[in-house]
Amino acid sequence: MSEITIYHNPACGTSRNALALIRNSGTEPRIIHYLETPPTREELTALIEAMNIEVRSLLRKNTEPYEQLGLASDTFSDAQLLDAMLAHPILINRPIVITPLGTKLCRPSEEVLTLLPHAQQ
C-alpha cells in the first residue's frame, strides 16, 4: 500500500498536476476519487483536523451548489458546512494529499512538493 494518498478529481487541472508531481517523485499514490467515493463525516473531520484548517477553508466556492445553498453567508455552523460538503462532494476543495510528512490541501499544486518524502526525478 502506498504511503501517499490523494483525494483526487481527474477533471481538475490542479489535482492532475499534484498527482503528476507525486508520481514524478517515484511513488504511485492511493487515489481516492472523492466524487465517486466521498469521505464519511468522520474522515472529512479528521482531514480538516490534520490540515489544521477551518471547515470553511475546505469549502470550494466556485461551484454551483455553493451559490444555490447560500454558503457565502457566515451564518452556517461548521456542522452545517460539513453537511453541505457531504451532500455535495463537489464542494470539497481538492486535491487533499496525505503523506508521512503531513496532510495538506495542495492549492496550488506545487504545495504537494512540501509533503513528498522523495525528491522529483
Question: How high is the pLDDT of residue 1?
Answer: 63
Residue 13 in domain? yes
What is the enclosing helix (H) or strand (E) of 33?
strand 30-33
Residue 25 in domain? yes
Residue 19 in domain? yes
User: Which CATH number fits the domain that encloses residue 29?
Assistant: 3.40.30.10
Residue 23 in domain? yes
- What residues are labeled active site? 12
- Percentage of the chain beyond pLDDT 90 is 95
Residue 28 in domain? yes
Instruction: Flag whether pLDDT at 121 surpasses 90.
Output: no
- Percentage of the chain beyond pLDDT 70 is 99
Residue 81 in domain? no
Residue 61 in domain? no
Residue-wise pLDDT tens digits, 63-120: 999 999 999 999 999 999 999 999 999 999 999 999 999 999 999 999 999 999 988 9
List, in sequence order, every beta strand (DSSP E) within 58-112: 96-99, 102-105
Answer for the pair 31, 8: CB distance below 8 angstroms, yes or no.
Answer: yes
Please tell me whether residue 4 adopts helix, strand or coil conformation.
coil
Answer for the pair 3, 97: CB distance below 8 angstroms, yes or no.
Answer: no
Q: Could you list the residue range(s) of the whole structural domain that residue 29 is in?
A: 1-34+94-120
Cell numbers standing for residue 79: 456542522
Domain total for the chain?
A: 1
Question: How high is the pLDDT of residue 2?
Answer: 80
pTM here is 0.94
Residue 68 in domain? no
- Is the torsion defined by CA of 85, 90, 95, 98 positive or negative? positive
